[in-house]
Structure 1
Amino acid sequence: MARMATHMITGAGSGIGAAVARRLHERGDELVLLARDAGRAKELAGAFPGARTLVGDLANPDRLSWAFSHQPLPDRIDSLVHSAGVVDLGPVGELTTRAWRGQLEVNLIAPAELTRLFLPQLRTARGHVVFVNSGAGLNAHAEWSAYAASKHGLKALADSLRAEEHGNGVRVTSVYPGRTASPMQAKVHSQEGKEYDASRWIDPESVATAILASIDLPRDAEVNDLTVRPGH
């Protein structure tokens, strides 16, 4: 009997991460879902019966190693999907170091640390690391400096990791979705002072389809960078 694939996902509580988790769960793959605390872990376990949860706060990447040392970990991981993220808009003239640091910790340093901690399992499985980046990882607009900097950094992390791990058979994909209908997008609109209309933006299911396509691609190929834009 073929071994079921195991996928570790951050940000599975909403948006793109939830869509990816749902699709993988429906097809019978094994899930390891990262939760920021025990309450969130319980919610995720209820939403995805049979899934394993790991507790670790991405806002405090310094403590992830310690947190994981007290929990049973998977012995191999076929894909690690970094989908969690935070956004805090504002002009450079007003953004505080706290706003900068908050976004860099969750959007860049935590994915780097998570990847470091689970590289042995990814190498064992000849697995796949997927970074859910953003259009802001390619272009920075007014009021998006800190978020865009974190996502530009995430592209650098992915590119370096790909070059380093190619010989170990680990594939690395960056996905750059345009604006996607999600709780984060609703928050962005309120920060921009604009009315939010979900129908104008990409359905998270469409981004999930693109991510699954890159994960399921035969071993002779690798999607490096995938930009997903609104179709209307």
Structure 2
Amino acid sequence: MSERPTALITGASRGIGAAVARALAPTHDLLLGGRGTEALQALAAELPGARPWQAELTDPAALAQATAEIASLDVLVHNAGMAEVGPLEKTSAQVWRDTLELNVVAVAELTRLLLPALRAARGHVVLINSGAGLNANAGWGAYAASKFALRAFGEVLRAEEPELRVTSVHPGRVDTDMQRAIRKTEGGQYEPERYLTPESVADSVLHAVTAPRGAHVHQVVIRPS
């Protein structure tokens, strides 16, 4: 059995999640969460000590089953999420429900189920948040609300679980498939050279996770230079 620490990463099949997996792979065994079976299997084959971990994040019963055999967990990276932008008058109740369910409720429930495993390892919870979790702009109502709530969740978790480290990461726009969809909805040009790379966000996660035990990185704010 490996003596390396273990990290579970949600939304690991692409974008920031896959970049975080590659950043942690040299030092951690990985549980790769996500929906894209082929992409997860390909990434797991690329990274020694990695294996797919598939569960529907918005299904509490599925989550309970998928987490039942995890006795100890060193790092939990909450990266999975959704963004549907638009003015409040066109944001339906279903968009609000779907956004909060995945971006907040699923995070809270997965963390709750894994608290015994995280406590056993004096683990680290990393929340991939957003600039929208610090400042809310027009057209971003449901998404910003979910990210403000995610930031609050992290602050409460940190206060209630002093043996754990909890880090909120707030990147600006990142060159990902999600960003392409957002820019299409906004009607703007897609300019990847003006955005962060997934690897730059992953480097920040790695820095927080590998900081000496006496250093607790509460919040990381990243913007393109």
Closer, same or farther in 2 for the Cα pair 1:158/1:127, shift >3 Å? same
Structure 2 CA distance, aligned partners of 1:38 and 1:156?
32
* Superposition TM-score, scaled by structure 1 size: 0.90
* Equivalent of 2:224 in 218, 222, 230: 230
Alignment of 1:71-110 (within 5 A): 73-110=69-106
Does the 8 Å contact 2:11/2:80 carry over to 1?
Answer: yes
| Structure 1 portions without partners, runs of 5+ | none
The CA deviation string for residues 141-160 of structure 1, in whole angstroms up to 9 with x for no partner, is 11100000000000010000
Aligned equivalent of 1:199: 193
Alignment of 1:146-157 (within 5 A): 146-157=142-153
* Superposition TM-score, scaled by structure 2 size: 0.93
Does the 8 Å contact 2:21/2:30 carry over to 1?
Answer: yes
What residue identity is the alignment partner of 1:138? Answer: L
Alignment of 1:1-232 (within 5 A): 3-25=3-25, 27-36=26-35, 41-58=40-57, 60-68=58-66, 73-166=69-162, 169-231=163-225
The CA deviation string for residues 31-86 of structure 1, in whole angstroms up to 9 with x for no partner, is 0111237556545434545412222112x2433334426xx633211100011111
Closer, same or farther in 2 for the Cα pair 1:46/1:97, shift >3 Å? farther
Closer, same or farther in 2 for the Cα pair 1:178/1:37, shift >3 Å? closer
What residue identity is the alignment partner of 2:21? Answer: A
Does the 8 Å contact 1:91/1:142 carry over to 2?
Answer: yes
Closer, same or farther in 2 for the Cα pair 1:74/1:62, shift >3 Å? closer
Structure 2 CA distance, aligned partners of 1:33 and 1:65?
14
Structure 1 CA distance, aligned partners of 2:89 and 2:193?
33
| Structure 2 portions without partners, runs of 5+ | none
Residue 28 of structure 1 deviates from its aligned partner by: 4.4
